[in-house]
A = this chain, B = another copy of it.
Amino acid sequence: MSLETIPPRSGTAFRLRAGQRLKVVDPEGEQVADLAAFAASDTREVLSNGRTIDYASKLYFSTGDLLYSNRSNVMLEIGEDRVGTHDFLLTPCSAEMFRKLYGEDDPHRGCFGNLAAALAPHGIGADQVPVAFNVFMNVPVDGATGRISVEPPLSKPGDFTVFEAKMDLIVGLTACSAGQSNNFRYKPIQYEILD
């Protein structure tokens, strides 16, 4: 497959077969991509940050780490990773989030709305959208106080992270819509499926 482009503040969904690799590219740098995953055979099986954190006993994930489903099966393994800083704590940005945190009156539907729209043709409802694996998102944690902050991504133009599917998946992927997550400039994301 050739390199596909996700325009700024939008999202898409596609099938990823077991063994295929998904390369997520940040063409301009400092841009987050929210990644959601569902088992193609039964979309009630979904990516789970809670199980992944439990099995790895850590919050930060990079090359060699496994991302688990709510049924404790491995969905994805992280391959080559030119960035190494991602977030797996926060839900996709949403109209409600833009209202609550940014005080916006007429907010964008955000990654949450973009994922829900892209996943609907696959029979996946908005309520099923999980905490996404937020590729390139930079969320330092202060262990003493528990405070988190959202900082500019560390990704440079052309940086990428590869994910290998360990089961047949429906994947949702966005070019993130939140200002603070993307150093206040909305940029595209690119991706490629490699056999």
Chain A residues with CB under 8 Å of chain B are 44-46, 48-51, 53-55, 57-60, 70-72, 89-91, 94, 96-97, 100-101, 125, 127, 129-131, 140-149
Known A-B contacts A44-B127, A96-B72; the reply to A147 vs B50 at CB < 8 A is: no
CB-contact partner of A147 in B45, B57, B90, B91, under 8 A: B57
A60 to B144, CA, bound (A): 10
What is the distance, in angstroms, from A191's C-beta to the closest C-beta of chain B?
23
Can you pick out 22 interface pairs between chain A and chain B where the beta carbons lie within 8 Å of each other?
A: A48-B91, A48-B131, A49-B89, A49-B131, A50-B89, A50-B90, A53-B148, A54-B90, A54-B97, A57-B147, A58-B146, A59-B89, A59-B147, A60-B146, A70-B127, A70-B129, A72-B94, A72-B96, A72-B100, A141-B143, A141-B146, A142-B143
